[in-house]
Amino acid sequence: MKKYRLKESPTTGGAPGTPAGTIVHQWQGHDYGAASFDSMMSQEQYMSVSLVPGENPYFTVPVRLLEEV
């Protein structure tokens, strides 16, 4: 499972205001189309992530804000 650092605080997606520098983990479960929907609506690619690997809640963030660690 991939791990990422937020390069800046998201203003869109499922967790606006999550601080820059927060470590998030790629969501491996079913996101019920959340990332796909956000990507379609914003014309920007989104990914579902969680704060704890494999544990809810998950949320979406723009891929451009993610830096793999």
- What pLDDT digit, counting tens, does each position of 3-55 carry? 999 999 999 888 888 999 999 999 999 999 999 999 999 999 999 999 999 99
Number of domains within the chain: 1
- In this prediction, residue 1 carries a pLDDT of 84
Contact 34, 49 (CB under 8 A): no
- In this prediction, residue 13 carries a pLDDT of 85
Q: What is the pTM of this model?
A: 0.92
Closest CA to 9 of 53, 68, 69, 62: 62
**Domain boundaries, position 23:** 3-68
- In this prediction, residue 64 carries a pLDDT of 97
